[in-house]
A = this chain, B = another copy of it.
């Protein structure tokens, strides 16, 4: 199940400022228009772009899943209902990134993977190089480091990405 990612998260279990991020999916009862759809519509309007059927389908598909998805997974999941072409997916993703709804996470198997930003606390990733499991965590010291670097150099920082890699406990055990 490749780690558990959800559209809405809560930080859980602290100790040293390093907080493990645990997922919890939105209640199925939530019937009001997904806020990310609303945000995207406003983004399109603001930019003078059109709110098309395809774009809505793509955004709904993305915010219906809670993993580090790639274009192919998205494309396949849409083949059933309606269907949207790959170029449309490739064209929509940068818009969603600009709108602050999703972000590039990492390159794996030669192509990019993405995840939600909206509704999520900023977090970092641990990646097991063997089983590819991902564990997400948040550490406020990273924000502090970003802030200090910006202050020191006069940079206007806009964010950071941190990734820790190695072997997860079970893979470490298997390799003696």
Contact = CB atoms under 8 A, between A and B. Distances in A.
A164 interface: yes
A96 to B, nearest CB: 18
B169 A158 contact: no
Contacts of A146: 164
A155 to B, nearest CB: 5
Interface string A134-157: 010101011001101110111111
Contacts of A145: 18, 139, 141-142, 162, 164
Given A18-B152, A145-B139, A145-B141, A159 B167 contact: no
With most chain B CB atoms within 10 A of its CB, the pick from A15, A107, A141, A168 is A141
Number of copies of chain A assembled together: 2
Contact of A162 (B16, B157, B158, B160): B160
A11 B107 CA distance: 30
Interface residues of A, number: 37
A158 B154 contact: no
Given A145-B139, A146-B164, A152 B15 contact: yes
A154 to B, nearest CB: 4
A155 B162 CA distance: 16
A24 interface: no
A145 B158 CA distance: 21
A161 interface: yes
Interface of A: 15-16, 18, 20, 107, 126, 128-129, 135, 137, 139, 141-142, 145-146, 148-150, 152-169, 172
